[in-house]
Structure 1
């Protein structure tokens, strides 16, 4: 079993490939009877390697990658990737809310939140969950939705894979298959002025537009600032917004067109392929692109150790902010920019890369909201974990005790 993050060296005792919910239930019971730590590997990847526990039993869901569409709902197996689900949805003339990378597991992404290019118009992926088939710690199979197992349904929308194994995830689809999307690249030496220009436009950004921002190292060693818009509204207004982005500075390239949303996932996948690189991530949630924040981002790009050291920012706004914090386990509903600090390397000493990410993360704390994005938080981010779910933490703890009192499942870290 190949992990996306080559830096994870954890070795399990056994890997069980499951193709049915019955096999999942049997694997859970076998692990418990033998006293083995249990972990679940969906179809995608996790930087922290939580799919594998030392000396434990891994339930590998990759055979459960089937996807179907019924009316406006996608049925995604526990091993389906975001690209698997998007391809099926687009073929049916619809779209699913995903993240930015096609090889990420759909269930893992959505259960922990799911920031992506449709945040403004649809919210995070967890908001589109309408039901889930879940195998519990005692081997039972339940179905959770608004009417059945409502506590579990609430917890699954942002609480991660901490309550059971999701073998079938139901996701509400959106009635279009294409969007105006792509990337506008600016030279890195103009990053500060471009970011300040974009910050001035942010208060007027409509729900239909979500712009992903990233500092990227190109294969030739050149660093660029990428603004990647996704527009899901009327063509004329979208073209105006893309034009406004292009006017923020002299561009290296501008490739924005109406494309199937599968192409968006494939394009980003090339940057984060499972090709033997090691990865280390940190995250902060920043309420605004203030001058000090922009200065910090510029310094992050200037001081990156290697070409694979980068940052990415997701704009949480519009529809994403209109859901009450208590309506789902995902609690952070203020408008913000979720910053991912991504350190990557192939060989050599990993410490300079890790320290680069840690330093920017520490400096960003003074400008950040409490907590952070649960899907990116690492097991040692104790202060952020304690505050990531806000007032929902107590209810999450109660649901965990109800459905997994023995702590069999360890997905993204929950407050202790």
Structure 2
């Protein structure tokens, strides 16, 4: 049988040769742990790789990459499993979640971390020393995947993007070399992996800067959603001190136990706020949000940083039509549109997420990293979660139309949040100069586009 996506004959992956080459685990359909290894965060993904390799070390990664290149086999890279690109049909999947070493140096406030660790695991270990590195908003996301796309999370206004704290990395390139890259060694590659995604190699270890932060003040704040409250939340976030980063989800209220039953299904702002610190300064920063309306629930408290990652429901694999955009303004009229569109959606759970940016992220020069949207004010995610596959087109159209309206004709998208619109919108993730520089790095390090199972940056123009 031929894979219709790749044109490559399934079953041609040389499993015995792979097992002889690597020290780690090589899983094929029928093996005890194969099904678990191909399970990912997102629902609706049912690809069946011919083989899943869980490497023992970077040497294993290099040997697998070399084999995939030589035999022209499809290759995907899986870490935390949050990407829609982390599996394939009939090819090889490198499951880097097996690369889990972590060496924290409290004296220099740096850490070398295996790319297969997730954000929660890394953060919990760092917190034992009163230290943090900012990642995203979910503890189970793999640190390798989120980092190479940028990293926008609960500390973005205080400390910047995750890539702003990346000091060095070990990368296996398409020719099977293991390179240590930093500002002085392979500087073009180091620039590219800070925002260019998985286009240039497999990251096996990362060297991060850590910040002293023992306690944060944060948690869940639920407010009734009116146009004035939603727009007011964005305005308050823009005016907040840089120590405060926020994520606000505008959505119908789920039947949560701390929400009165009569409010279930009514529009709410489900926000997570994180202030890097505690005490009076934190309370002063949070007061404008609490003053927008009488809170439905207020669970904000002082806690160690890992406490900001909400508990995740076991077995939860959402299927959603999701789109992302940057915008530079969001007012009452935008809030009215969002609430109207959420009310009109027939999805099981429609939602619009608002992340106000700025602060430390915006002070880094746009050309310092491949992530170049430093001046954009707000990151918005539009999502419609649904259950029936035949509903996909309806909800995708809803997400596309709302995204276009909120984008207001100014392109821009966060590469880590591209989904099935990736091929059509990849250019929006990078300004023209950044795009051409990334293409040049791609030609130098992956001229045959081995690493194409991603939001792809091709080394050459596609044939028309």
- Normalization by structure 2: what TM-score? 0.83
The question of 1:40 aligning with 2:82 is answered no
Aligned partners of 1:400, 1:362: CA distance in 2, in Å?
30
Residue matched to 1:342 = 383
Report which stretch shifted further, 283-292 or 210-219: 210-219
The question of 1:330 aligning with 2:374 is answered no
Unaligned runs of 5+ in 2: 1-37, 256-263
The question of 1:399 aligning with 2:441 is answered yes
**1:374–1:413: 8 Å Cα contact kept in structure 2?**
no
Larger radius of gyration: 2
Q: Deviations over 1:240-269 (max 9, x none)?
A: 1212211101210111111112111134x3
Aligned partners of 1:331, 1:255: CA distance in 2, in Å?
35
**1:44–1:81: 8 Å Cα contact kept in structure 2?**
no
Residue matched to 1:174 = 211
Aligned partners of 1:397, 1:258: CA distance in 2, in Å?
45
The question of 1:112 aligning with 2:155 is answered no
The question of 1:12 aligning with 2:49 is answered yes
Aligned partners of 1:398, 1:320: CA distance in 2, in Å?
25
Q: 1:176 to 1:10 in 2, by over 3 A?
A: same
Q: 1:200 to 1:217 in 2, by over 3 A?
A: closer
Unaligned runs of 5+ in 1: none
- Normalization by structure 1: what TM-score? 0.92
**2:248–2:353: 8 Å Cα contact kept in structure 1?**
yes
Aligned partners of 1:313, 1:196: CA distance in 2, in Å?
10
Q: Deviations over 1:288-316 (max 9, x none)?
A: 11233222222233234344332212111
**1:317–1:336: 8 Å Cα contact kept in structure 2?**
yes
- Aligned pairs for 1:258-277 (under 5 A) are 258-267=302-311, 269-270=312-313, 274-277=315-318
| 1:381 positional shift | 4.3
Aligned partners of 2:139, 2:236: CA distance in 1, in Å?
29
* DSSP 3-state at the match of 1:266: coil
Q: Deviations over 1:44-74 (max 9, x none)?
A: 311xx20112322111112112322123112
Aligned partners of 2:74, 2:329: CA distance in 1, in Å?
41
Q: Deviations over 1:80-114 (max 9, x none)?
A: 11111111111221111010011111111111011
Residue matched to 1:89 = 126
Aligned partners of 1:206, 1:255: CA distance in 2, in Å?
20
Which of 240, 243, 249 aligns to 1:205? It is 240
* DSSP 3-state at the match of 2:167: strand
How many residue pairs are counted as aligned between the two chains?
408
Report which stretch shifted further, 22-31 or 1-10: 1-10
Aligned partners of 1:319, 1:298: CA distance in 2, in Å?
31
- Aligned pairs for 1:55-134 (under 5 A) are 55-71=90-106, 72-134=109-171
Q: 1:85 to 1:60 in 2, by over 3 A?
A: same
Aligned partners of 1:97, 1:170: CA distance in 2, in Å?
13
Aligned partners of 1:261, 1:304: CA distance in 2, in Å?
35
Aligned partners of 2:406, 2:363: CA distance in 1, in Å?
26
Residue matched to 2:13 = none
Structure 1: which 4+ aligned runs deviate by more than 4 Å?
A: none
- Aligned pairs for 1:231-380 (under 5 A) are 231-233=275-277, 235-267=279-311, 269-270=312-313, 274-347=315-388, 349-351=390-392, 352-366=394-408, 369-380=410-421
Q: Deviations over 1:211-257 (max 9, x none)?
A: 21112444425342123221114621210121221110121011111
Residue matched to 2:250 = 215
Aligned partners of 2:95, 2:423: CA distance in 1, in Å?
28
- Aligned pairs for 1:127-206 (under 5 A) are 127-188=164-225, 191-206=226-241
